[in-house]
Structure 1
Amino acid sequence: MATAFETASAFARWALAHNLLPRLPANMEEEYLAGVPALQVGDAAEQIFLRRGLSSIVFNDATSTVYVYTNKRVPQKELELLPRLLNHCEIEYPQGAVDVLVPPINEAQGASYTVVQRAAAGTSHYACGSSISPGNEASAGTLGALVTDAAGIYFGLTNNHVTGGCNHSGVGLPILAPGVIDVAPGGLPPFTVGFHERVIPYVLGTSGNVDISSNTDAALFRLQDTAVVSSSQGGIFDTPAAVAAPIEGMKVAKVGRTTGYTEGTVVGRELRPVRVKAGSAANGFEGFIWFPGVFVVHGETHEFSAGGDSGSLVVSLNPDGTKSAVGLVFCGGPDSLAPGGAKSMIVPLGPILDRLNVTLVSGHNVP
């Protein structure tokens, strides 16, 4: 019996042979697809996908499900002409695409930041899961976690597109908390929580000109004062020290600037790299970036994340009650199968920590 990964790969080979998906260089396709022959999906399906457009293919080996995302909704009459079972795998045809990497920032559904109190010490601390932005940009994203390097220096971890200016933030650029667009009368006065340090750089380009296999979305800023921050995730739970790989079917949670605490499920993994439009208005940059190894998350009852939640730390909700850090929210988009009509997309955390040579901080100024 074929796995969902193999079935998704066979479907993709058929779609590529009929010019329904954009091609990667021949040698790069083999990095992402299983070594299986193309499925014969049929002429009727080809005509439907030419009209509706294929967006991406997502697979879930845990449930033996393949999600074939289309740009336009496939009406019921056409759904009846499409295969719903291939190689013993269920095939779904949701409508959905990928938003730009820096979508419009949604209004926070509650407070855009959390300050936790340590009653015994009589101190207060800015929590992870809260609003941050570069000091020179009217934006807002989320402080995902605190990390430390081998020298014991503390940093804030978030997305490249949140504080790194999509590769363009100058080293030493002040990072503000709360983010610029969340500064308001009666709110917390903005302060410099740290200074931009470095990013895992985006590699721009396609068609074999560059190697996109290492693209992810992460940046560090050096904390100005470790006493004013907490590793607590919005006062709800502490950042876990354990790190695990995201897997299909995993129950997850996050705390973010816009939607606060939400729970969800990893519904699948993108078969091929995802092409996302990125930009930094403050730096006059705009371009397209391909991200491999992306996982799709659906919220349990409503959207898992929204604009402004980028950078949020995603943790697994393990059956034994423990948590492990598994990824960072970095993007999203419409999804007709998802609660709230929107999916979230995450990049795995383990490779990010390894490449930055840092470790998660737990138990720091936690109530």
Structure 2
Amino acid sequence: MASAHEAASGIRKWALSKNLMRPLPAAVEATFIVDVPAAEFPEDAEVIMRKVGIASISYNETDNIVNVHTKRRVTQKELTVIPAEIFGCNVVYAHGEIDELGQPPLENQGASYSVVTVAGKDHYCCGSSISPGNAASAGTLGALIRIGTEIFGITNNHVTGGCSHSPLGLPILAPGVLDVGAGGLYPFTLGLHKSVLNMVPGDGGNVDISQNTDAAIFSLIDETRVSSMQGDAYDTPIEVIDPTDGMVVEKVGRTTGHTTGKIVGRMLLPVGVSAAASNYEYRATVLFPRAYIVHGDGSAFSTNGDSGSLVVTKKIDGSYAAVGLLFAGGPDAKAPGNMMTLILPLRAILAKFNATLVGGHNVPPP
């Protein structure tokens, strides 16, 4: 029996041979596709797949499953025609595509921010609402990180970096502009935009997409005003481990708060996501390699406004370890809440910033 990666590669090769998916440059294909023969689909199955369209392919090595994400829903009758198994691996056809980065967040389902009090002083928590001072938006403060002796905040590039267009020193507000309202927390300048990581649009033939990720950092105006607590759920862990298929994960975000879920697979190829920063009149498609898919536990793991959240897992000994940064999502008919979440591995992001996670910072005593 082939691995799920091999089966996914075989389906990709078949789809390319039938012009059902757009090819990437040969060097990019070779990086992510293993050397296997193209899968075989009967002619009537090809007709169905041409009608519903293929948005992307993902796979789960632990459960030996390949997910074919379709642009339109596959009917129960059509499921009896298209292959349910390829190279000995189960194939699931899930209707769903990735939403655009930078979309306005949905109305928050709970409090958009959390504050903890330590020794009589209030501290703004990770997992809370933030935005650039010049944008009517709101995303999530993922965590605090340390570079050298200085502490920074980390989130997505599309949350505070304006998709690489925010000027250095731009104020970062807490709560985010969209969450400022009568009777709420007075907005304050949490920090100043400092740096972003590579987020270059293009198909991989003209530019190097191998380093693309979605992360930005900002310096803190006053370290005493912020806490490493993730809402009121848990403190930010300082250990970082790699995401794996089947891993149970958690996050605290601006919109949906504290949620749990499971990593159900990883994208076979770099996933193309539309990115927008309307205040800079910017819009482009960016390819992100090494994205993992999370399904929520009984409901959606995240939605708009949760971008930037730190994704963690609880280990056997009860301690937490960080695994990723939440950056995108979209409809998924097979997921609870009909929404999938995409995360990027955190280890590589921190390495590029030469940073470590900060825990135990203005945390209430147990």
User: Counterpart in 1 of 2:41?
Assistant: 41
| Per-residue deviation, 1:124 | 1.3
Instruction: Provide structure 2 residue ranges, at least 5 long, that are not aligned to the other structure.
Output: none
User: Counterpart in 2 of 1:145?
Assistant: 143
Instruction: Provide structure 1 residue ranges, at least 5 long, that are not aligned to the other structure.
Output: none
The residue identity in structure 1 corresponding to 2:139 is: G
After superposition, what is the alpha-carbon deviation per residue over 1:93-149, rounded to whole angstroms, capped at 9, x for unaligned? 01000000122311111110000111xx21110000000000000000000000010
| Per-residue deviation, 1:257 | 0.2
User: Counterpart in 2 of 1:330?
Assistant: 327
What is the SS of the residue equivalent to 2:111? coil
Give the conservation status (yes or no) of the 8 Å contact 2:28–2:204: no
CA distance in 2, matches of 1:322, 1:185: 38
CA distance in 1, matches of 2:282, 2:33: 32
User: Counterpart in 2 of 1:288?
Assistant: 285
TM-score (norm 2): 0.98
Give the conservation status (yes or no) of the 8 Å contact 2:153–2:220: yes
| Per-residue deviation, 1:284 | 1.3
Q: Does 1:236 align with 2:271?
A: no
CA distance in 1, matches of 2:180, 2:299: 27
What is the SS of the residue equivalent to 1:93? strand
Question: Residue 259 of structure 1 is aligned with which of 256, 261, 266?
Answer: 256
The residue identity in structure 2 corresponding to 1:68 is: V
After superposition, what is the alpha-carbon deviation per residue over 1:178-220, rounded to whole angstroms, capped at 9, x for unaligned? 0001000010000000000000031111150111111110000
User: Counterpart in 1 of 2:19?
Assistant: 19
Question: Residue 202 of structure 1 is aligned with which of 199, 202, 207?
Answer: 199
Give the conservation status (yes or no) of the 8 Å contact 2:228–2:362: yes
Question: Residue 223 of structure 1 is aligned with which of 220, 239, 254?
Answer: 220
What is the SS of the residue equivalent to 2:16? helix
The residue identity in structure 1 corresponding to 2:290 is: G
**Aligned runs of 1:70-219 on 2, under 5 Å?**
70-118=70-118, 121-150=119-148, 152-206=149-203, 208-219=205-216
CA distance in 1, matches of 2:245, 2:277: 32
The residue identity in structure 2 corresponding to 1:15 is: A
CA distance in 2, matches of 1:347, 1:73: 27
User: Counterpart in 2 of 1:57?
Assistant: 57
Give the conservation status (yes or no) of the 8 Å contact 1:116–1:125: yes
The residue identity in structure 2 corresponding to 1:293 is: R
What is the SS of the residue equivalent to 1:94? strand
User: May I ask how many residue pairs the two structures share in their alignment?
Assistant: 364
Give the conservation status (yes or no) of the 8 Å contact 2:104–2:138: no
Q: Aligned Cα RMSD in Å?
A: 0.8
The residue identity in structure 2 corresponding to 1:18 is: K
User: Counterpart in 1 of 2:308?
Assistant: 311
User: Counterpart in 2 of 1:5?
Assistant: 5
The residue identity in structure 1 corresponding to 2:112 is: S
The residue identity in structure 2 corresponding to 1:134 is: P
CA distance in 1, matches of 2:288, 2:94: 21
After superposition, what is the alpha-carbon deviation per residue over 1:216-260, rounded to whole angstroms, capped at 9, x for unaligned? 100000011100000000021000010011111000000000000
What is the SS of the residue equivalent to 2:12? helix
CA distance in 2, matches of 1:32, 1:222: 36
What is the SS of the residue equivalent to 1:244? coil
CA distance in 2, matches of 1:320, 1:357: 28
| Per-residue deviation, 1:343 | 0.4
User: Counterpart in 2 of 1:347?
Assistant: 344
| Per-residue deviation, 1:28 | 1.2
The residue identity in structure 1 corresponding to 2:178 is: I
Identity %, equivalent residues: 53
What is the SS of the residue equivalent to 2:28? helix
The residue identity in structure 2 corresponding to 1:337 is: K
What is the SS of the residue equivalent to 2:182? coil
CA distance in 1, matches of 2:102, 2:36: 36
| Per-residue deviation, 1:298 | 0.2
